[in-house]
Chains A and B, each alone.
Chain A
């Protein structure tokens, strides 16, 4: 009787399959390369197909690339399924996509701000929700979100960028608390200054390269850290920044 054809069965047991969103440059690209070195099959997602192509040939190993804009939320479930099938299962997801456009001192540009909201936070929600559904039901998996030290306080410099990172922290904390009972790890990474295009031409200190950053991120996730700074010493900056009273904080220009 059954005429309807059977779809190919996906049989998956825990292994080494990872997905990096925002993989075409910077921290994401470094993570892809590091994961390939560690024997992972990796799905790499970002808008620039050419960069992904170059990354894939540079990394060697199994890298499945897909060009996608994370603010196109409606595409996410199908793309996620496609990638997981291609990888043969999923154990690790890193959401690293983000933008930080220049914002002038007295600029209140909704187009810029809502683009950040859609990409940095909307994209995070769209992808992490898919990962959460899969990881919860298979009772395993690690989810990493790349947030920022910029999410600690509302600075004058870029109100929306910090707000999207603070929103990520809150959302990922809640996912962590939901998924803990099934042993799924959710790690929020708050980098300081990492040497990528995002920091180019800016005043920085304690700068580390994206490769070192990638290694530290994976080490922290392996230790099942919840929310954590990379490099670790940035916790001190975070601590100080949090405790500066508002009345003083508003006179600081950064």
Chain B
């Protein structure tokens, strides 16, 4: 024993931890193909958030805002500074079950939101394919759901928000007050300030289920025609595409078309409007633990396996199509993959080396079909076929750097491996040329491949200039930065 009497006396009972809490962690994009070891600050209140800004300013360090890190690429990474994670500021500040308006701290997740409001007969108007994003992350990316064509993006459901700017101003923004900041910060990928409070409108529902029908489609054109024909009557429309199919079968797939259950149609809405009714069981067939499913999926995670799975899914669609429309819970329909824990690990999980990227482009309706056929053909020619393709219909919105267009989006999941990485990036750059020529746009929540010249051509230059001017005003020292910002908007040197 060292014999030394512990001196000075232990501090255990009058311990004051540093605020905000800070730790060194490996922070990566959801797709795992990018990440770095950085200091993460986790404020729990607006005061601690302000303290984090002050600290960064004092130390002359940049801050990258982050929610729960569900952006696929480098939108919430900051390898050359600190990460400011607002997911611990996660209280629901107010909820009005009569109007369906929720006032949320920035770190409230979509999961926490729906679980809190469902019993009152409400559902978030816009959700992503996963329920784990925070509301601030969702607002900063202006996320869309499978109903974008009908109800717009999440920005359209936001009534007002408070933002704390690096310049130190607390500003309340809506469509009238600070309207510029309102329309720029939604979809502004965390470059103008930190959301501290978001007032969100939700949707009245009369059942915990939606009515779903499947439609198998033999070509991309057929898929687009179906979706176009049902835009008026479907509440949700999403297409899955078998990216391995070539030639005459190019773009074959399966559409899921869902509608809300009307008032009075659900005999017992009190039972279906519960969290238990929404959630999927923890074990598949009652025995196989779901948290091990990714290991089984891993066995198929190569071209041959994924070709087979896509083939099987397409043909299963023929059968599913014959079924009567069926009821599925909101959560089951919207977030199915969330119930397979860590399914992305099927792609391999070696930091920075293995994982996936998603290449999602948004193309105006006039040029979309030809563009997407060409994207698929180019992928196949390059021998880099996406393991998953998802097709959606969108509509324009008033947010400055929005990805949404009056047209379509196609999201392609590519496996990343050291041997294919360089070729994959090159292919994506080629695809971007096609998309840009078609008048298309990109989505920062998914991006890891865009170059400054791509962004310059894809986004309206007047909006980008106004955005930069607004950033200069609210963040004169350039404190808010992410890897994405430096990669895509590499600011001209002064």
* In the assembled complex, A59 has its CB within 8 A of some CB on chain B: no
Contact with A along B8-26 (1 / 0, CB 8 A): 1111110111100111111
- What separation, in Å, do the CA atoms of A9 and B39 have in the docked complex? 11
- What separation, in Å, do the CA atoms of A1 and B491 have in the docked complex? 6
A122 in contact with B36 given A73-B17, A197-B1 (CB within 8 Å): no
* In the assembled complex, A225 has its CB within 8 A of some CB on chain B: no
Asked if B23 and A7 make an inter-chain contact with CB atoms under 8 angstroms apart, the answer reads no
Chain B residues near A111: list those with CB within 8 A. 9
Among B240-248, B394-402, B474-482, the stretch in contact with A: B474-482
Chain B residues near A72: list those with CB within 8 A. 11
- What separation, in Å, do the CA atoms of A146 and B472 have in the docked complex? 53
A74 in contact with B82 given A1-B494, A5-B60, A122-B10 (CB within 8 Å): no
Contact with A along B80-94 (1 / 0, CB 8 A): 111000000000000
Contact with B along A132-154 (1 / 0, CB 8 A): 01100111000000000000000
A118 in contact with B12 given A7-B61, A134-B25 (CB within 8 Å): yes
* In the assembled complex, A115 has its CB within 8 A of some CB on chain B: yes
**B489 to A, closest residue via Cβ:** A1
B 21-56 contacts with A by CB, 8 A: 21-28, 36-39, 56
Of B3, B22, B37, B342, most buried by chain A (CB within 10 Å of CB) is: B37
Asked if B24 and A1 make an inter-chain contact with CB atoms under 8 angstroms apart, the answer reads no
- What separation, in Å, do the CA atoms of A216 and B206 have in the docked complex? 64
Asked if B81 and A6 make an inter-chain contact with CB atoms under 8 angstroms apart, the answer reads yes
Kindly provide the distance from the CB of B46 to the nearest chain A CB, expressed in whole angstroms: 21
Asked if B16 and A2 make an inter-chain contact with CB atoms under 8 angstroms apart, the answer reads no
* In the assembled complex, B351 has its CB within 8 A of some CB on chain A: yes
Asked if A10 and B25 make an inter-chain contact with CB atoms under 8 angstroms apart, the answer reads no
Among the listed A73, A130, A134, which residue makes an inter-chain contact with B26, where contact means beta carbons less than 8 Å apart? A134
Chain B residues near A47: list those with CB within 8 A. 2, 4
Asked if B2 and A4 make an inter-chain contact with CB atoms under 8 angstroms apart, the answer reads no
Among the listed B5, B12, B23, B62, which residue makes an inter-chain contact with A77, where contact means beta carbons less than 8 Å apart? B23
- What separation, in Å, do the CA atoms of A193 and B385 have in the docked complex? 61
Among the listed A5, A10, A73, A200, which residue makes an inter-chain contact with B12, where contact means beta carbons less than 8 Å apart? A73
* In the assembled complex, B286 has its CB within 8 A of some CB on chain A: no
Kindly provide the distance from the CB of A180 to the nearest chain B CB, expressed in whole angstroms: 11
Chain A residues near B479: list those with CB within 8 A. 4
* In the assembled complex, B264 has its CB within 8 A of some CB on chain A: no
* In the assembled complex, A48 has its CB within 8 A of some CB on chain B: yes
* In the assembled complex, B160 has its CB within 8 A of some CB on chain A: no
Chain A residues near B471: list those with CB within 8 A. 1
* In the assembled complex, A69 has its CB within 8 A of some CB on chain B: yes
Chain A residues near B12: list those with CB within 8 A. 71, 73, 114, 117-118, 122
Chain A residues near B79: list those with CB within 8 A. 9
Kindly provide the distance from the CB of B1 to the nearest chain A CB, expressed in whole angstroms: 4
Chain B residues near A69: list those with CB within 8 A. 6, 8, 10
Could you say which interface size class chain A belongs to?
35 or more
Kindly provide the distance from the CB of A33 to the nearest chain B CB, expressed in whole angstroms: 18
A48 in contact with B26 given A4-B56, A138-B351 (CB within 8 Å): no
* In the assembled complex, B349 has its CB within 8 A of some CB on chain A: yes
User: Chain B binding site: helix, strand, loop or mixed by DSSP?
Assistant: loop
Asked if B1 and A99 make an inter-chain contact with CB atoms under 8 angstroms apart, the answer reads yes
* In the assembled complex, B291 has its CB within 8 A of some CB on chain A: yes
Among the listed A5, A114, A139, A197, which residue makes an inter-chain contact with B61, where contact means beta carbons less than 8 Å apart? A5
* In the assembled complex, A56 has its CB within 8 A of some CB on chain B: no
- What separation, in Å, do the CA atoms of A134 and B22 have in the docked complex? 12
Among the listed B24, B36, B61, which residue makes an inter-chain contact with A134, where contact means beta carbons less than 8 Å apart? B24
Asked if A198 and B1 make an inter-chain contact with CB atoms under 8 angstroms apart, the answer reads yes
- What separation, in Å, do the CA atoms of A85 and B462 have in the docked complex? 42
- What separation, in Å, do the CA atoms of A26 and B477 have in the docked complex? 51
Asked if B24 and A48 make an inter-chain contact with CB atoms under 8 angstroms apart, the answer reads no
A74 in contact with B18 given A2-B491, A11-B36 (CB within 8 Å): yes
A81 in contact with B24 given A1-B472, A71-B10, A74-B16 (CB within 8 Å): yes
Asked if A74 and B37 make an inter-chain contact with CB atoms under 8 angstroms apart, the answer reads no
- What separation, in Å, do the CA atoms of A80 and B22 have in the docked complex? 11
Among the listed A89, A139, A197, which residue makes an inter-chain contact with B37, where contact means beta carbons less than 8 Å apart? A89
- What separation, in Å, do the CA atoms of A147 and B457 have in the docked complex? 61
Asked if A71 and B6 make an inter-chain contact with CB atoms under 8 angstroms apart, the answer reads yes
A1 in contact with B478 given A6-B80, A10-B37, A198-B1 (CB within 8 Å): yes
* In the assembled complex, A253 has its CB within 8 A of some CB on chain B: no
Kindly provide the distance from the CB of B168 to the nearest chain A CB, expressed in whole angstroms: 15
Chain A residues near B36: list those with CB within 8 A. 9-11
Chain B residues near A94: list those with CB within 8 A. none
A 84-128 contacts with B by CB, 8 A: 84-85, 89, 99-101, 111, 114-115, 117-119, 122
Chain B residues near A164: list those with CB within 8 A. none
Contact with B along A37-63 (1 / 0, CB 8 A): 000000000011000000000000000
* In the assembled complex, A25 has its CB within 8 A of some CB on chain B: yes
- What separation, in Å, do the CA atoms of A102 and B101 have in the docked complex? 63
- What separation, in Å, do the CA atoms of A196 and B28 have in the docked complex? 43
**A200 to B, closest residue via Cβ:** B1
Chain A residues near B9: list those with CB within 8 A. 111, 115
Asked if A138 and B37 make an inter-chain contact with CB atoms under 8 angstroms apart, the answer reads yes
Asked if B10 and A119 make an inter-chain contact with CB atoms under 8 angstroms apart, the answer reads yes
Asked if B15 and A74 make an inter-chain contact with CB atoms under 8 angstroms apart, the answer reads yes
A78 in contact with B18 given A2-B481, A4-B477, A10-B36 (CB within 8 Å): yes
Of B2, B26, B27, B36, most buried by chain A (CB within 10 Å of CB) is: B2
* In the assembled complex, A187 has its CB within 8 A of some CB on chain B: no
**B479 to A, closest residue via Cβ:** A4
Residues of A whose CB lies within 8 Å of any CB of B are 1-7, 9-13, 24-25, 47-48, 69, 71-74, 77-78, 80-81, 84-85, 89, 99-101, 111, 114-115, 117-119, 122, 130, 133-134, 137-139, 181, 196-198, 200
Residues of B whose CB lies within 8 Å of any CB of A are 1-6, 8-13, 15-18, 21-28, 36-39, 56-57, 60-62, 79-82, 291, 342, 349, 351-352, 468, 471-472, 477-479, 481, 486, 491-492, 494
Q: A89-B37, A114-B12, A137-B27 are in contact. List 15 more A-B contacts (CB 8 A).
A: A1-B472, A1-B478, A2-B491, A4-B62, A4-B478, A5-B61, A5-B62, A7-B39, A69-B8, A69-B10, A74-B11, A77-B21, A84-B37, A100-B1, A101-B1
Some 29 contacts from A to B, beta carbons below 8 A apart, are: A2-B62, A2-B481, A2-B486, A4-B60, A4-B61, A5-B62, A6-B81, A9-B36, A10-B38, A48-B2, A48-B4, A69-B6, A74-B11, A74-B15, A81-B22, A99-B2, A99-B6, A118-B6, A119-B6, A130-B24, A133-B24, A134-B26, A137-B25, A139-B26, A139-B349, A181-B291, A197-B2, A197-B3, A200-B1
6 closest A-B pairs (Cβ-Cβ)?
A6-B80, A118-B10, A2-B478, A71-B10, A138-B26, A118-B12
